Structure 1
């Protein structure tokens, strides 16, 4: 049993999984041999591709009660996105690149948040600051996370620091970032073999915005029509999710990774407010958002403003 639990958010993406592994390595190099990476959900195909490519073992699914346990959070801080017993845990450290909300601790902690495109970029900086060796496997996991969160450096969240880190990491990992990255993204882009529930929950996060609880899921694809062709069954899955959980609105963002655009599917209370957030109108519960690819920078802020 670990004495320090390290994990990313629920419905984990590549950055959440890889950053937990990377942070555990950082802790071990820093003298904490009992640190262990965990995950709060199933791996998506993109993440599995990265782990397989760099021969890294997937973190164990966290099932322990964290009451009075030492934990380190990566790639998130909001409690509704974290482990169920997080409020009873002893949070030692947070490394994140998202907004800070619904977060509190009983004791002081180390908190590092930077407005970068990826948590793994922050971890890369931490390794460099400590002059820790970045092994090829760890370099590959860092690079994979940056590629994932930046959509191969096309996202507006991608900074010059992310790009510089990726350039250094592709040499350490021994891969061509563009070639490897495109194959990795494609591995996670097909939805034909996924159920509607898997699609809407694969990369979904819950946000408290004003008086609303908003669930925002995002799915990357090379063909948005592949998603829209299943709209009826996706709406049924979303409706069941809304009725079975305390969410007011569900926004599914289908992002075209080749053309850097998105289409949203919106259901729930006051759904037209979501359309107004982007200055569009819903047509059959959907709207096209040209140039929108980032949930963190282009989806969450305008919806927050519209609902607050």
Structure 2
């Protein structure tokens, strides 16, 4: 039976591409590892998979009884159903460690870089191996996505160096390909409100409080906000279903590197304390904010704990 490697629910480009890349590495090392996914792929990820002619991983809904490897996440609220009944062998991640408990020791590689694929490239090199041309392209796509083409504050020198190396292996012009891929990810018009919110939504548990934070990239935030009332209705459905204190949808403009957040629930005081901005008509301006991991979750955590 194959070991399953996967990223978080509501998968983004790093989650899908790092699962594929790590499966390739483990298979080159003689293991039987299969990349799978926990949800539908978004438009940006579809662009990368189509460009490099790689099939999307198989969808799984429950991993009970399986041997598993986690990439690009570790929090229980973000991982597969059946996690408690699975055997976790490894964790490769670049996020905070939170609400993560396992019964037995495991191999864990967690580094403060901008993308999981950056860590996986290091692991290839440490084993004297290199990714295939197609996988290198997917890893590059993951880094471009997570660092917004190296403009995000999460981006490190390691990510930039890895991106250049992977672009060379993949045979693409880094900037040209990166801009086209990011632009593909801003095609939101045909998405329903539920699809838009679940494209890249994560649930976090902080001091016993569960919050939801989703993010979409755009070049025209006004276009997204034309659907404000319908989005708020769907957000309230998610709050009720998941038992959340509040929910934020960060609408990030990849041209200006600013965000506007649409918020609902019982969190205005926390949000205002976290960002120093007033919530007005369910909206809060987040100047210079593009990273959920580095610029949204840390101040929210401090505000809730404080």
- Tell me the CA shift for residue 256 of structure 1: 0.4
User: How do 1:20-59 and structure 2 match up within 5 A?
Assistant: 20-32=19-31, 34-59=32-57
Answer yes or no: is 1:77 the counterpart of 2:74: yes
- Structure 1 CA distance, aligned partners of 2:8 and 2:183? 23
Matches within 5 A, 1:152-301: 152-301=149-298
Q: Deviations over 1:126-174 (max 9, x none)?
A: 0011111321101101100000000111100000000000011111101
Q: Deviations over 1:66-125 (max 9, x none)?
A: 233210000001111000111111000000000001011111110000000000000000
> 1: distance between equivalents of 2:199 and 2:215?
8
Provide Cα deviations, 1:14-50, integer angstroms capped at 9, x if missing partner: 0000001001001101110x21000000010000000
CA–CA distance in structure 2, aligned partners of residues 190 and 263 of structure 1 = 18
Secondary structure in 2 matching 1:205:
strand
CA contact (8 A) 1:190 1:222 kept: no
Unaligned runs of 5+ in 1: none
Q: Is the 8 A contact 1:266 1:285 kept in 2?
A: yes
TM-score by length of 2: 0.98
Q: Which stretches of structure 1, 4 residues or more, deviate above 2 A after TM superposition?
A: 65-68
Instruction: Give the TM-score taking structure 1 as reference length.
Output: 0.97
Instruction: Tell whether 2:11 aligns with 1:12.
Output: yes
My pick for the range that moved more, 182-191 or 5-14, is 182-191
Q: How many residues align?
A: 305
Counterparts of 2:125 and 2:2, CA distance in 1: 26
Aligned to 2:299: 302
Task: Give 5+ residue unaligned stretches, structure 2.
Answer: none
Give distance in 1, aligned partners of 2:126 and 2:242: 43
Contact 2:64 2:81 in 1 (8 A): no
RMSD: 0.9
SS of aligned partner of 1:52? helix
